[in-house]
Structure 1
Amino acid sequence: MGKMFLTRTAAVLAGLVLILQVLDLLSESGKITSVAGNGDAEVWRYIGLRAPQIISTFLPFSALLGTIITLSTLNANSEVIALKASGLSAHQVLAPLIVTALGIAAVSFAFNDRIVSRATATLSQWKNVDYGPLPIDRGDRSNVWVLSGDDLIQADKVKGRGDAAILGGVMIYDREGGVLRSIVSAARGKRDGKGWLIGPAQRFDVAGGKVTMLGNIHVADGVRPDQFTLSNVDPDGLSFGALRAAINDLRDAGRPTKSLEGSLWHKISGPLSAVLMPLLGAVAAFGLARSGKLFIRAVIGMGLGFTYFIADNFALAMGNLGAYPPLLAAWSPFLLFLLIGEAVLIRTEE
């Protein structure tokens, strides 16, 4: 049963990837080849970067369809009836598929972490330059905000990384208890010990309306260079470990991380959704095939599975908007449909 499930899932996945890759290439190949110097090699490069994304997205769908095809075939041949007649419960009948799905989930997580994240990051950079030559990322950032205690620090430009980072257009908003007291501005800044040396600086006193020239001054002790070099974080383009480290750095910089935390947990719950598919598609395994309702049962299983994917995307979107806590956004659809699948199975078969 496990082998049947695995081969049918792989066959469905291969078909989906082939069809969707061709459709996607029809819309993108013209954009790729319209760039001077691009040819067949760049088209194949796009396929190599896009195919892992399609595989990652549709692997759970394939597991659902593989489950329904496997169980419908067994039911149609009365093999499920024979298994239950031998004393096996419905959960024992599904056990080989669930164990196989656990293996699929583990492979999916590793594939997403090692391959899909890198392909997504590279493809995003390539799309940003309209499929032209990829620029070298020298670590330059723009319009970066950092929280230092109650004070806000804004840099128009950040060049370089680590202790070699150079700030341009520095603005420090001096606040006490959330009330703005003064604004310190400087043309440039560089690393100085545990803080930053900025200058030539001037202070604008909000209450008095006076401007004071300060020259070169030392500010922002405890603010690390990586807090400036982290600007926009794309969770899809980072591995689980890299995203967790980025979230910690952003949290230390005083920036909101709730949406990224939801994406972090979804890197686990997403691949694990393959384990739900045998449970949600189990309705196709039971019932008498000669009753003429096998097709209806298969449609019900597909409906349960696709409803899960809709709920999962909805919860993740609510998490990105801040309406759901990160754990709720990532795990609530999984737990909800686990209970629904169990309830349907116990109510109808156990």
Structure 2
Amino acid sequence: MSIPWTLGRYFFGRYMKTLGWFFLGVAAIIFLVDFSENSSKIPDSSQSHLTDAFWITLLRLPLLLQQTAPFVVLFSSIITLVALNRKYELVVTRAAGISVWQFMAPFIFGAMIAGLLVTTVLNPLAAYGMLTASSVEARAGVSSSSQSASVPWLRQITRNDDAIIGARSVGENGTALAGVVIFHFDPQGNIVLRQDADKAILERGYWQLNNVLETRPGEPPKRITTVQLETNLKREFVQEQLSQPETVGFFDLPRKIAANTALGISTNALKTQYHSLLSMPLFLIAMVMIAGTVSLKFSRLSQSPGLILGGILSGFMLYVVTMLAKAFGSSGVVPPFVAAWIPAIVALAIGATILLHQEDG
């Protein structure tokens, strides 16, 4: 016996409505908090202080929503199931001979649709938003804190120079750097010059450094307005090397992986990101299963707070484990495919096992 179409549509509609309102509420909270943080980072002397903060926040919003999507699905599932339980709707459904697997189908289907939308719609918007936000941040003089911990160092060896280039933030797809520091070495490996620049723009054959402070051993620092630093790095290589997985949309990831492979650049982070997005529907379904394990037991007055808290903590632990596995996959400790898929599969199996035990004994 399958769930009747009318009943399934009713459950699906209730769930998607709750999910939609929850997404809007979370988006509003994230926007207010992030706007407050961004407005405090931009110098008050900037003429477009609030405007820049508004656009940076708006552009960052899709990525933050993507990161909170598992919790939105988890809370929405718990709230919807608890509400249906307290109104005896699930009790009547079970009395009609419909099993838990049948009336959970609309919720699983809704989570799958949410996962597909996150992967195919929200992620490309997030990638575009982060790329554009980095440019606005660079123009407004704001360091991108979300990228500062993960910006790699570049090494370039020319005819007369050996230098290592680092930056606080990256813009323009890797060809515009802010908060730049460059160390120059002699053939013996000793530092002979340090250059600190506000910005560095990669042109053909050289880096254009602005507002440079040069420091040499035994000499006082010297301030120079602009410096052209010779380079043999190609724009294509720098763009691939410095671009972050979060700034690459789902549909562009296969091309990016192929390009990095051709250039000899590690693709572990990109592959992990790609498989994480592919596994997003399954991951959100696992969240629904976790919600079901703590929300389906009927109680005349209210659900057990301890049980609900346990479900929330279980979802949080699953999210933490998934992030750790993703970090291991990006660093090459474990294969990207394993890092992205195993947490979701294990969580789904555990949720199904608990429901089987609760419902069928």
**Fold conserved between structures, TM > 0.5:** yes
Asked whether the 8 Å contact 2:34–2:57 carries over to 1, the reply is: no
Partner of 1:114: 124
- Residues 1:72 and 2:82 aligned together: yes
TM-aligned CA deviation for residue 278 of structure 1: 1.8
Asked whether the 8 Å contact 1:312–1:333 carries over to 2, the reply is: yes
Partner of 2:345: 335
Distance 1:272 1:144 in 2: 43
**Structure 1 pair 62–56 and aligned structure 2 pair: CA distance change class (3 A):** same
Q: 5 Å matches for 1:84-103? A: 84-103=94-113
Q: 5 Å matches for 1:203-282? A: 226-227=236-237, 230-270=240-280, 272-282=282-292
Residue 256 of structure 1 aligns to a residue whose secondary structure is coil
Distance 1:16 1:298 in 2: 20
Q: Deviations over 1:36-80 (max 9, x none)?
A: 322332232123212212221222211110100010111112221
Distance 1:108 1:300 in 2: 26
Partner of 1:295: 305
- Of 326, 329, 345, which aligns to 2:336? 326
Asked whether the 8 Å contact 2:38–2:57 carries over to 1, the reply is: no
Asked whether the 8 Å contact 1:49–1:123 carries over to 2, the reply is: yes
**Structure 1 pair 241–155 and aligned structure 2 pair: CA distance change class (3 A):** farther
**Structure 1 pair 155–225 and aligned structure 2 pair: CA distance change class (3 A):** farther
Distance 1:231 1:293 in 2: 51
Q: Deviations over 1:253-276 (max 9, x none)?
A: 222222221112112223542222
Asked whether the 8 Å contact 1:144–1:231 carries over to 2, the reply is: no
> Number of residues paired by the alignment?
270
Q: Which has the larger radius of gyration?
A: 1
Gap runs ≥5 in structure 1: 133-140, 146-153, 158-188, 191-223
Asked whether the 8 Å contact 1:68–1:281 carries over to 2, the reply is: yes
Partner of 1:46: 56
TM-aligned CA deviation for residue 292 of structure 1: 5.8
- Of 23, 26, 37, which aligns to 1:16? 26
**Structure 1 pair 3–131 and aligned structure 2 pair: CA distance change class (3 A):** farther
Asked whether the 8 Å contact 2:56–2:137 carries over to 1, the reply is: no
**Structure 1 pair 339–43 and aligned structure 2 pair: CA distance change class (3 A):** same
Distance 1:156 1:23 in 2: 37
**Structure 1 pair 130–318 and aligned structure 2 pair: CA distance change class (3 A):** farther
- Choose 272-281 or 338-347, whichever is displaced more: 272-281
Residue 42 of structure 2 aligns to a residue whose secondary structure is helix
Asked whether the 8 Å contact 2:52–2:140 carries over to 1, the reply is: no
User: AA paired with 1:305?
Assistant: G
User: AA paired with 2:293?
Assistant: V
TM-aligned CA deviation for residue 96 of structure 1: 0.8
Distance 2:280 2:140 in 1: 30
**Structure 1 pair 69–123 and aligned structure 2 pair: CA distance change class (3 A):** same
Asked whether the 8 Å contact 2:31–2:58 carries over to 1, the reply is: no
RMSD across aligned positions (CA) = 2.8
TM-aligned CA deviation for residue 246 of structure 1: 1.8
**Structure 1 pair 80–124 and aligned structure 2 pair: CA distance change class (3 A):** same
Distance 2:154 2:312 in 1: 47
Distance 1:84 1:144 in 2: 68
Q: Deviations over 1:132-182 (max 9, x none)?
A: 7xxxxxxxx96469xxxxxxxx9999xxxxxxxxxxxxxxxxxxxxxxxxx
User: AA paired with 1:57?
Assistant: Q
Partner of 1:2: 12
TM-aligned CA deviation for residue 291 of structure 1: 7.7
| Percent identity between the two aligned chains | 22
Asked whether the 8 Å contact 1:50–1:123 carries over to 2, the reply is: yes
Q: Give the TM-score normalised by the residue count of structure 1.
A: 0.69
Distance 1:263 1:345 in 2: 30
Distance 1:228 1:28 in 2: 28
**Structure 1 pair 28–225 and aligned structure 2 pair: CA distance change class (3 A):** closer
TM-aligned CA deviation for residue 113 of structure 1: 3.7
TM-aligned CA deviation for residue 120 of structure 1: 1.1
Asked whether the 8 Å contact 1:273–1:334 carries over to 2, the reply is: yes
User: AA paired with 1:54?
Assistant: L
